[in-house]
Structure 1
Amino acid sequence: MSLRRIGKRAAALVVTMIAALLVPLAVSAPAQAAQNVAAGTAAWTPEIYPLYSGERVWARDVPSANRNAALGACSLASGIACVSVGQGDGNHSVFHLFRCETRSLSNFIDALAVRNNQTGGAVVRFWGPNYRANIPADGRITEVVPNEAVYDFTHIDIC
């Protein structure tokens, strides 16, 4: 087999492998877009990044009436801080955190509440370019206001 034929076969193999990876992604894209539209144009998905091993999104789509109960259930164990933030549709996302690290926030827009049940006086700190908030480890549910501050927050530190 000539070198030219080997090169053409290798190129064809690479194109086939790329197509095998991209076609399933393209097929699933419309379904994902439909889910976002169904959620409503005012809804968004708050995120904390990174979530470390053992940390997680405790719950999504928690109705406002159940937010405090979800924060309490999330942070039952000592050493845990749970953060709830609005999704823009009357529901909340609740995050279960405990590792002493700094993280980035996205889509933290309103209705921020925290239950800091950490030990040793650890503080949950939020900050952005213009606002800061410190939540002590007192086991109470603390609402962070005004919303302008929540809009400004870009980072969280659990320490």
Structure 2
Amino acid sequence: MTLITAFLLPLAAQAPAQAAANAWTPGISPLYSGEWVERDIQGGDNADEALKLCALASGIACVSVGQGDGKQSIFHLYRCGTRSLSNFIDALSVLNNQTGGAEVRFWGPNVGTYRAPADPNVIWRFPNAATYDFNNMSVC
């Protein structure tokens, strides 16, 4: 048993450093007054529930994107405008509860434009290859 323990302890000590090395911080710029981002939301069903909670407020566009460590960053957006994206790599989902038929649009140099129409009952999911290419978005 001591041989196994001697082998596993160094691996356990390395795990947090490896997880941190594989993570990134997605960003949307600008974030306007009253908009905010929630970090480190566990992916999967937890991220979907966090999107639904975000979208309870009318007029809100909720954008969830992967952090590379199995967790998500969820942006709470409401102000119209074009924004720049950074570190959008994978697991992009949108729940758009804006009013007046407003859309959330993403685009990049190679993939064209992807849309998430306003519908508080639909979580729009985007392919990772497109997400990686997106460098801009607009709300409204």
Pairwise TM-score range, normalised by the shorter structure: 0.7 to 0.9
CA distance in 2, matches of 1:95, 1:37: 26
Greater length-normalized contact order (CA 8 Å, ≥ 6 residues apart)? 2
Q: Distance in 1 between matches of 2:18 and 2:79?
A: 35
**Which structure: greater helix fraction?**
1
Could you list the per-position Cα deviations for residues 99-140 of structure 1 after superposition, in whole angstroms to 9, with x for gaps in the alignment? 011000000000000000000000000001012211000111
- Aligned to 1:67, the other structure's residue is in SS state helix
Taking the aligned partners of 2:66 and 2:96, their CA distance within structure 1 comes to 18
Write out aligned runs for 1:46-125 (5 A): 46-57=26-37, 59-64=38-43, 65-125=45-105
Q: Which runs of 5+ in 1 are unaligned?
A: 1-35
1:28 maps to which residue?
none
> Residues 6-43 of structure 1: CA distance to partner in whole angstroms, max 9, x if unpaired?
xxxxxxxxxxxxxxxxxxxxxxxxxxxxxx95752110
Normalised to the residue count of structure 1, the TM-score between the two structures is 0.74
- The whole-number CA distance in structure 1 between the counterparts of 2:19 and 2:80 is 33
Percent sequence identity over aligned pairs: 62
Equivalent position of 2:23 in the other structure? 43
Specify every segment of 5 or more residues in structure 2 that has no aligned partner in the other structure, as ranges: 1-15
Give the aligned partner of residue 3 of structure 2: none
Cα distance in 1 between the residues matched to 2:107 and 2:57: 26
Larger Rg belongs to: 1
Distance 1:37 1:105 in 2: 26
Q: Partners in 1 of 2:82 and 2:18 — Cα distance?
A: 33
Q: Partner of 2:118 in structure 1?
A: 137
In 2, the alpha carbon distance for the partners of 1:53 and 1:75 equals 18
The structure carrying a bigger strand percent of its residues is 2
Q: Tell me the TM-score normalized by structure 2.
A: 0.83
Residue identity matched to 1:63: Q
SS where residue 151 of structure 1 aligns?
Answer: helix
AA matched with 2:124: T
Residue identity in the other structure for 1:108: F
